[in-house]
Structure 1
């Protein structure tokens, strides 16, 4: 009886060992997307994703002001699992500002937008456009979006101090930190209403700024 029990136990051990070997073989030889417990992308041919599996995805947006907003960070969404580089580029086209990068085991989906972030889109600043006083959207140092030219306020009619600051603002990034702080305090505004209030004062008392 004891001998028969030992034979049965040995047989069970062998069966369990074979099953374990088959399972391990499936993990290492099967398709990456079929591996249990992992969120991965197929590496594909050399022109596809770089070799290696990605366990996380970060999707982010970069605005004109330089601010970056992370809109997703976590395990890859189901619809992305298994996509190669070409398929990812169709979903995140370069023509819409997307770039696809890798950082360790994280896939970075980065989009550069031609607009300001929610905080800075209401900002306004004064500057020069073709020698005339102008109002731009966004913070100082970003003259990508010209809103209007103040033709009723010739630059020559402004105080010499304000004229100097306007010229400094055209090369804002080259100014030292102290001058940048002064320019922000005097030429940068949190809203359209704020910049309009200053322009009205300048219009009423030109040269007294």
Structure 2
């Protein structure tokens, strides 16, 4: 049994990689004001990302639109998980609602849920980070009107380094959270 365990451990160690890992930096809250929402509990469903954005490698769009991996740079966490948790955290810190990512951890269901579908999440060599798609607000008990809204967020990249892309992605997700908050405050 042990003779099989050692090769398996070597394989897992080789897959882990020793390169640097980058976390999406959450953008700081700007005005410090907490928004009063029309719901007291809110579930953030797993964010739907394009296949290229689900990859662990950090990508950069080059000339001609090709997405290529940034050398020796991977995300610190799975992109779907990190974007979902970052949005849930931002929505919870900036609002009066109790917010959690799915699966909803409480016995009583949330009054509403946010579903985010990203159609584009890309760092461009031209110096812009683009986050586009739509979000939907569903309300199981019709506490608030259900709706679907589009978003198109552009954030300047300080540089195209992995750290610069990670910072810009966090800022873009912060802007998306603020857009969702404004919608839920109506």
TM-score tier (shorter) = under 0.3
Please identify the structure whose Cα radius of gyration is greater.
1
- Which has the larger share of helix? 1
Structure having greater relative contact order (Cα 8 Å, sep ≥ 6): 2
* TM-score, normalised with respect to structure 2: 0.26
TM-score by length of 1: 0.24
